[in-house]
Amino acid sequence: MTKTQRQHRINELIEREVISTAAQIVGRLNAEGIAATQATVTRDLQELGTVKIRDEHGTRRIVVGGASLSSPAPLDHLRRMMGEWVVSVESSVNLVVVRTPPGCAHVVASALDRSVLEGVLGSVAGDDTILVIASEARGGERLAHEFRALAGIDESVITSMKGTSHG
């Protein structure tokens, strides 16, 4: 099982069940024949952007962070997610298209949404593509440049690719 598949399964577990510890997740995964250590699951939970809350019944549980439930994620978390998962970034006017490997867009989109970057109005994630809407003041090109920097994508390669595609 890949890391992405394991994280997807963890996400399903915490959406369906009341789970309050990484040890409970390790137990559920092991019961399904998925080997994972508590340290690995803890890292997965951090990357998925989970938080511990008290639900409406007062029960502590792990949930995937939403705008109303979690505090903003640090920029370092977004940089880590983009560096690991983003393969390309393109822009048009106030839109930015971020591409990831299949099945990974939601991880990056969650980190992006929780980062509350200035000038980002919102995002929509598919399987391997994220559409990010930039404010008019920020603009898609400027935001794409910042995303490339966060992802560690060399802009000189992109410039040379654009130059050769018109030939």
92 & 125 share domain: yes
50 & 21 share domain: yes
Segment 149-161 mean pLDDT: 72
Structure confidence at residue 113 (pLDDT):
83
Of the CA atoms within 13 Å of residue 104, those in its CB half-sphere come to: 18
Residues 111, 114, 118, 124, Cα dihedral to 10°: 70
141 & 92 share domain: yes
Assigned domain for 83 exists: yes
Q: For residue 103, what pLDDT band results from cuts at 50, 70 and 90?
A: confident
Work out the mean pLDDT of the chain and round it to a whole number. Answer: 85
82 & 148 share domain: yes
CATH number where 55 lies = 1.10.10.10
49 & 30 share domain: yes
Assigned domain for 108 exists: yes
Segment 43-56 mean pLDDT: 86
Structural domain ending residue among the three candidates 64, 87, 103: 64
Assigned domain for 9 exists: yes
Residue 80 or 58, more confident: 80
Q: Which amino acid is at 76?
A: D
CA pair distance 19, 8, nearest whole angstrom: 15
**Number of domains forming the structure of the chain:** 2
41 & 86 share domain: no
- Stretch among 2-11, 94-103, 115-124, 143-152 having the lowest mean pLDDT: 115-124
Q: For residue 161, what pLDDT band results from cuts at 50, 70 and 90?
A: very low
For 69-132, what is the HEC assignment?
CCCCCCHHHHHHHHHHHCCEEEEECCEEEEECCCCCHHHHHHHHHHHCCCCEEEEEECCCEEEE
82 & 123 share domain: yes
Range of the domain at 82: 75-165
79 & 59 share domain: no
Assigned domain for 81 exists: yes
**162 token code pair:** 């654009």
